[in-house]
Amino acid sequence: MGKYDKFSLFFLLFFLPSICQAGDLTYDCVIKQVYDVNDVGELKASGWQSQFEGDKFSVSRETGKIIGKTLTTVFAKETRVVNFGSKANSFKALAEFEGQIQLIEIQEFKEGVEKPFIASSMGGAGIVTGICK
């Protein structure tokens, strides 16, 4: 076996499986609805709906970090997973920013590939819902 054959075998055995499993480490999500709370405590359609609807983001199943244009945690002081989710429980993650927090719950226990999510962003986005895969 030549020098390059050994490298190829090493690459296939160690790197290819981790590349194939990368999707298992994240949720890929799309926003469907955005809500605010009115003066009497009821949900109403948000003025952000037209801007956020259809936006996509990814959530790390290991750290709870969110990457994307909307709900991003890139400026968070801390992110953490509160519950990793299971067939009986939701995945839940928390991000702490300077003076505010953001929560996301992905209903991992739901049947099928698509999992509904709800996020609460104290930084202005309000209540955001949609689907993750």
Give 95-121 pLDDT, tens digit per residue.
999 999 999 999 999 999 999 999 998
Whether 1 shows a pLDDT value over 70: the answer reads no
Structure confidence at residue 24 (pLDDT)? 85
Structure confidence at residue 122 (pLDDT)? 74
In angstroms, the CA 86 to CA 52 distance is 28
In angstroms, the CA 64 to CA 83 distance is 10
For 68-106, b/e burial (b = at least 16 CB within 10 A) is bebbebeebeebebeeebeeeebbbbbbebeeeebebbb
- Residue ranges of the alpha helices (H) in 21-125? 49-52
**Once rounded to an integer, what is the mean pLDDT over residues 55-79?**
96
| pTM of the predicted protein model | 0.80
